[in-house]
Amino acid sequence: MSSNLFVRPPRDAFLNGKGGSGKTFGVVQIAHALARRNKRVLVVEVDPQDDTADRFDAGDPTRLTMAEVLDHHNPRPITDAITACGWDVPEASYIHVAQGGYMLEDRLHETDKAGAQFRLRRALDALPADMYDHVLLNADPSLGHLVQNCIAALDGEEDRVWITVIPERNEIKGGLRMATFVSNFRQHLMVPNLKFGGVIINKADIRLKLHNRYIEEMPISFKAIDQGAPVPVLPHVIPFRARLAETQSESLPITSFRPSEREGVIESIDALTDVVISRGMEEQEESPNGA
C-alpha cells in the first residue's frame, strides 16, 4: 500500500484491448474538462505509441520519458518526465503530461524482474501528494505488461477503471475482454477491491442503425462482466463529429472549434467529467440512448 493513500489524488485508467477505441481521446478530453474547472491534472502516457503529448502539444525532448521512469535498473523520478501542455488556452497551465516514448517497448522485456508489475505504482506513489487533483493513465491497447502496470497502480479506494468504446463490434469486444480481464485478475495485481467507473461510449453516429443497436445492447453485455456488480455503461454518449479528427492531427483543444463543429461533444464530456469527479455511478440510472 502506498504511504500517502488517503491524501493522494485519485487515479483513473482508460482501458480497452482494442486500438482506436477512444482511450487517448477520452483521456485528453476529460483532462481538458477537468482543467477548465481549475483541477490540476497529470496525464501519464503508458502507451509506446505516445500520442498523448502530441495531442496536448506537450512533448519536450529535453526531458525524460516514462520509459526511463519505469526502467527496472535505474528508474528516474516521474517528475523528470513531466511536460507542459502547449495549447494556447488559459486552462492549459492546469494540464501536465508525463510523456511517453517508443522506448516503453523495452520495459516489456523486463517483466521477469521482481515487482515489475508495480513499477508504475511506485513511480506515482513518489509524486508529491498535493501536486495534482487528478492523475489520468493512458494505456496501450493490450492486456499486457504496461496495462497490468496501470491496473496495479489503482490501489486507492477512489481509483477507477474506465472502459472506452466506440459502438462497433470489435471495439465492444475489446472492451468486454478488458473488463473481464480486470475482473478476473485484479486480485493477482494486488488491487482486489478495484472498481469500474463505467463504460464511456464515444464517436457514436446516431444516424447509423448499427450504432444505435450496439448502444442499446451494451448495458446488457457489460452487466454480466463484473462479478457482484455490473459495469455501468454511462448514459453520456460522445457523438461523432467529423471535424474533430483535427483535434488529433493539429494538436488543438476542442474548444477552438466552432460550436456547430463540436455540437453535443463538450456537453457530453462535461457530463462524463461530473461522473469522473464523483468517482463513477453507483448504479445504472438509464440506458445510454434514453430507452
For other proteins, the closer of residues 103 and 208 by Cβ is 103
Q: Segment contacting other proteins (CB under 8 A): 97-105, 147-155, 176-184, 189-197?
A: 97-105
Residue 116 interacting with other proteins (CB under 8 A): no
Applying CB under 8 A, which of residues 4, 51, 71, 261 lies at the interface with other proteins?
A: 71
Q: Establish if 144 lies at the interface with other proteins (CB under 8 A).
A: no
132 touches other proteins by CB under 8 A: yes
Closest-CA residue to 41 (of 109, 131, 124, 107): 131
Asked if residue 137 lies in contact with residue 46, where contact means CB atoms within 8 angstroms, the answer is yes
Residues 6+ apart with CB under 8 A from 195: 159, 160, 161, 229, 279, 280
Within residues 27-46, the interface with other proteins by CB under 8 A covers 38-40, 42
Question: Is there a contact between 236 and 266 (Cβ–Cβ < 8 Å)?
Answer: no
Q: With b meaning 16 or more CB within 10 Å and e meaning fewer, what string describes 102-119?
A: eebeebeeeeeeeebbbb
User: Per-residue string for binding with other proteins, 235-254, x by CB under 8 A?
Assistant: --------------xxx---
Distance CA 286, CA 272 (A): 14
Among residues 30, 31, 82, 123, the one that binds other proteins under rule CB under 8 A: 82
Q: Smallest gap, in angstroms, from Cβ of residue 106 to other proteins?
A: 7
Collapsed DSSP state (helix, strand, coil) of residue 290: coil
| Residue 106 sits in the site that holds other proteins (CB under 8 A) | yes
* Angle separating helix axes 169-185 and 145-152, nearest 10 degrees: 60
Residue of 2, 4, 76, 271 interacting with other proteins (CB under 8 A): 76
Of 22, 100, 101, 197, which lies in the binding site for other proteins, with binding defined by CB under 8 A?
A: 101
**Of these, 74, 207, 242, 260, which contacts other proteins (CB under 8 A)?**
74
CB 198 within 8 A of CB 232: yes
* Contact set with other proteins (CB under 8 A): 38-40, 42, 57, 59-65, 67-68, 71, 73-74, 76-77, 79-80, 82-84, 86-88, 93-94, 96, 101-103, 105-106, 131-133, 249-251, 277
